[in-house]
A and B are shown apart, each in its own frame.
Chain A
Amino acid sequence: MTQRVAVIDYGMGNLHSVASAMEHVGAAEVIVGHDHDAIRAADRVIFPGVGGIRDCMSAIRDLGCDQLLDQALRIDKKPVLAICVGMQALMTRSEENDGVACLDTIPGQVVFFGEHYQDASNERLKVPHMGWNKVAPAKPHPLWHGIETGARFYFVHSYHVVPDDPDVIAAHFEYGLTGCAAIARGNLFATQFHPEKSHQSGLQLLKNFLTWDGTCS
């Protein structure tokens, strides 16, 4: 199986770590860009994201990355991995930046953790949710292969996704609430955490993505 990976770049920051991590786990070729033909030629696609949602969404639309993503996901049915703001951009709407309409690929909302955020025992929780938290898989999925239960992954976000359909949730995290750490639906997998920054567990997930056939079983 050839392993050409395209990382969709819409100009919002550090994509090289995703690309380097994919090379590190054995991708034959990693393309970073938004060239239509190059992305169509890839075997699998990564949709990353860093930064404020408003600027991300306008860059995604201005550069036609929404169409690239639709092509890969729905028409070509390639395995797609969305990361962090990339996952948030797939939802219907985000509260960030006074409310921004997103791609509505996965119906649901992106919501703020809250001001003066606390857990049930009134312990104060800092926002952004920044650091290494445990990820609890909600169901078996090929991308969890070889990752121990309760492994910690690196998160950095102030907003989290709430899908309308809880069945798409592939993993949870605990941070004052039970949040959605990952989504799985057909050939799409999405993570709120950064696998490319999560050392061995993250690299294992990316390695799994590289051999994933795009099905959920």
Chain B
Amino acid sequence: MPLAKRIIPCLDVDQGRVVKGVNFVGIRDAGDPVEIARRYNEAGADEITFLDITASHEERATTVHTVEQIAREVFIPLTVGGGIRSLPDIRTMLNAGADKVSINSAAIDHPELVADAAARFGSQCIVVAIDVKRVSAEGASARYELFTHGGRKPTGIEAVSWAKKMAQLGAGELLLTSMDRDGTRNGFELVITRAIADAVDIPVIASGGVGALQHLADGVTRGGADAVLAASIFHFGEYTIGEAKEFMSGQGITMRL
């Protein structure tokens, strides 16, 4: 496999501040997304994902400004997600310095946005975020559906067929988050990760639940993911990006060391 698997630290940003807690040694202001992005860039991260979780529309200007500042200092790919609802939203973020945008609920409301965006800006910059939960009973064959609003609102949409549809419409990549696992530190939900990675020809990023380095490796070797995304294990300085890469490389995974 010639391509290196990617490690993507994720910054959840609310009103210009990284939330979910960040505790890097040596950073005075641990919530500054620009400083944190710079650190990950230097530490060997393969990409950075910036999720704007700000609810209010008024704060968008802050987000654009932060993206501009990050793009000025970070020389690895930057994905921006959260609140991307239209072609002008995408244009704004690309102009601010994002390399890719992640579209989530807008893809559910208006699937044609994915096709329009891919045609206009190229598939390479269109990531579709898919938040799923297992809805089948214990023992029954696994069924996963899409949820919105941080996992609170069911949509009834089956996850694998949705992933295929997004790929057909022109998504360049899928960011798959298990809402059952997010924040649990129990590892990725490997069943749905594998099912989607096998079902589509575009890269899949596994997200949600990383609590140990083995989880990152499992996402690739067992889940079939092309990239793994994590927040807290890196934010709190439990592991460095370098340690994660060495660990994964030690399990036979191609990494950029």
**Chain B nearest CB, measured from A15 CB (Å):** 9
Known: A130-B173, A131-B203, A152-B256. A52 touches B3 (CB 8 A): no
Known: A24-B75, A133-B3. A197 touches B99 (CB 8 A): yes
Residues of B within 8 A of A85 (CB): 122
Q: Does A2 interact with chain B (Cβ within 8 Å)?
A: no
Residue of A nearest to B4 (CB): A132
**What does the 1/0 interface line of B97-125 toward A look like (CB < 8 Å)?**
11100000000000000000001111111
Q: Within residues 67 to 113 of chain B, which ones have a CB less than 8 A from any CB in chain A? A: 68, 71-73, 75-77, 94-99
Which of A63-71, A102-110, A154-162, A209-217 contacts the other chain? A154-162
In the complex, the answer to whether A158 meets B41 with C-beta atoms within 8 Å is: no
Residues of B within 8 A of A158 (CB): 123-124
In the assembled complex, the Cα of A130 lies from the Cα of B226 at a distance in Å of: 9
Interface residues on A, range: 35 or more
Known: A17-B97, A116-B201, A117-B201. A51 touches B4 (CB 8 A): no
Residues of A within 8 A of B4 (CB): 131-133, 152
Residues of B within 8 A of A13 (CB): 94-95, 121, 125
Which of A39-47, A121-129, A139-147, A163-171 contacts the other chain? A121-129
B contact set with A: CB distance below 8 Å? 1-6, 41, 44, 46, 68, 71-73, 75-77, 94-99, 119-125, 172-173, 201-203, 226-227, 256
A contact set with B: CB distance below 8 Å? 13-14, 16-17, 20-21, 24, 50-52, 55, 85, 115-117, 123-134, 152, 154, 156-158, 173-175, 194, 196-199, 202-203
